């Protein structure tokens, strides 16, 4: 029996489709708004912006990073994390609606920083024109509705047939369950799908163990394949992907 035809291509998000980061300028602007929101809600003089960034954004980033370093599969609840950080580091009891607003304002620092290249959009359009289904599977604690809003503003969302975030399904790559969620949404079997990502363990290893083909991209992050399991291909830029898919089909 031959190899099943490729029906779908799924992508990681950060450092695969976009350079996922936030600038200091965008972070300062976000925390100016956060400071004003806290002051208006609690009728207090909130800490200075630099202190808020250090004690809130810095601590949230530390907790998220530590959970990844520990190999934790379960995704953090970002609303709860911010609520805890505001209480523990600043001694503030913040109403739930204000915490949600703080999380959204913090997210805006990413929204105002991330861009997508015309080349990347062109590749996605090319794959759709071939009749392939396209999906996205991302490890991210950020809220899924805010992530989809970002994808829409970048012109990516309309090019995707399905999106899956660890903050939505509760588990992270390389857990096969998160890949299965996206494959179910697309209505394809794992053997007929290719996953493209920048991480050897999470993306290549996770996809291969889920039964998919895997392509390692090195455009934004340069991880070296360790051979267990090996990617089906390695690309330096996303525009190499259509040719790689041709090779996998053959």
Q: What is the dihedral of CA 9, 196, 64, 141, to 10 degrees?
A: -20
Q: Summarize pLDDT for 116-158 with one digit per residue, the tens.
A: 999 999 999 999 999 999 999 999 999 999 999 999 999 999 9
Under the banding of pLDDT at 50, 70 and 90, the label for residue 250 is: confident
Q: What's the sign of the alpha-carbon dihedral 180, 186, 192, 194?
A: negative
Q: Summarize pLDDT for 30-61 with one digit per residue, the tens.
A: 999 999 999 999 999 999 999 999 999 999 99
Q: What is the 3-state secondary structure (H, E, C) of 129-175?
A: HCCCEEEEEECCCCCHHHHHHHHHHHCCHHHCCEEEEHHHHCECCCC
Q: Summarize pLDDT for 165-221 with one digit per residue, the tens.
A: 999 999 999 999 999 999 999 999 999 999 999 999 999 999 999 999 999 999 999
Q: How far apart are CA 34 and CA 46, in angstroms?
A: 9
The CA-CA-CA angle for residues 187, 192, 195, to 5°, reads 95
Q: Say which residues have a Cβ less than 8 Å from residue 155's Cβ, sequence separation at least 6.
A: 116, 121
Q: Say which residues have a Cβ less than 8 Å from residue 214's Cβ, sequence separation at least 6.
A: 194, 195, 196, 197, 203, 204, 207, 208, 229, 231, 232
Q: Summarize pLDDT for 153-169 with one digit per residue, the tens.
A: 999 999 999 999 999 99
pLDDT at position 2: 58
* Global confidence as pTM: 0.95
- What does each C-alpha distance from 118 to 9, 115, 123, 155, 180 come to in angstroms? 19, 10, 9, 10, 30
Tokens of 64: 């998220």
Pair 229, 216: CB distance under 8 Å: no
* Other CB atoms within 10 Å distance of the CB of residue 53: 20
Pairing of strands 162-165, 213-217: unpaired
- Does 1 score more than 70 pLDDT? no
- What does each C-alpha distance from 180 to 8, 29, 68, 136, 161 come to in angstroms? 13, 38, 21, 12, 15
Cis-peptide into 174, omega within 30 deg: yes
Residue that wins the pLDDT comparison between 228 and 57? 57
pLDDT at position 128: 98
* Other CB atoms within 10 Å distance of the CB of residue 220: 15
Pair 49, 35: CB distance under 8 Å: yes
- Three-state DSSP at 79 gives helix
């Amino acid at each position: 029996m031959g190899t099943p035809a490729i029906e779908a291509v799924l992508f990681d998000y950060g450092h695969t489709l976009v350079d996922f980061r936030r600038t200091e300028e965008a972070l300062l602007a976000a925390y100016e708004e956060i400071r004003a929101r806290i002051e208006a809600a609690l009728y207090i003089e909130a800490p200075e912006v630099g202190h808020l960034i250090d004690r809130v954004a810095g601590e949230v980033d530390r907790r998220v990073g530590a959970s990844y370093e520990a190999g934790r599969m379960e995704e953090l609840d970002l609303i709860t994390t911010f609520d805890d950080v505001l209480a523990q580091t600043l001694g503030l009891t913040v109403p739930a609606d204000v915490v949600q607003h703080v999380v959204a304002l913090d997210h805006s620092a990413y929204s105002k920083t991330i861009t997508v290249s015309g080349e990347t959009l062109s590749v996605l359009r090319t794959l759709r024109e071939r009749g392939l289904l396209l999906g996205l599977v991302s490890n991210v604690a950020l809220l899924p509705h805010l992530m989809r809003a970002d994808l829409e503003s970048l012109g990516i969302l309309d090019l995707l047939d399905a999106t899956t975030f660890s903050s939505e399904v509760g588990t992270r790559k390389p857990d096969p369950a998160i890949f299965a969620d996206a494959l179910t949404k697309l209505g394809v079997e794992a053997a007929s799908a290719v996953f493209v990502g920048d991480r050897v363990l999470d993306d290549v290893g996770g996809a291969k163990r889920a039964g998919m083909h895997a392509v390692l991209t090195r455009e934004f992050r340069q991880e070296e394949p360790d051979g267990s399991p090996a990617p089906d291909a390695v690309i330096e830029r996303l525009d190499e992907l259509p040719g790689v898919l041709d090779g996998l089909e053959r």
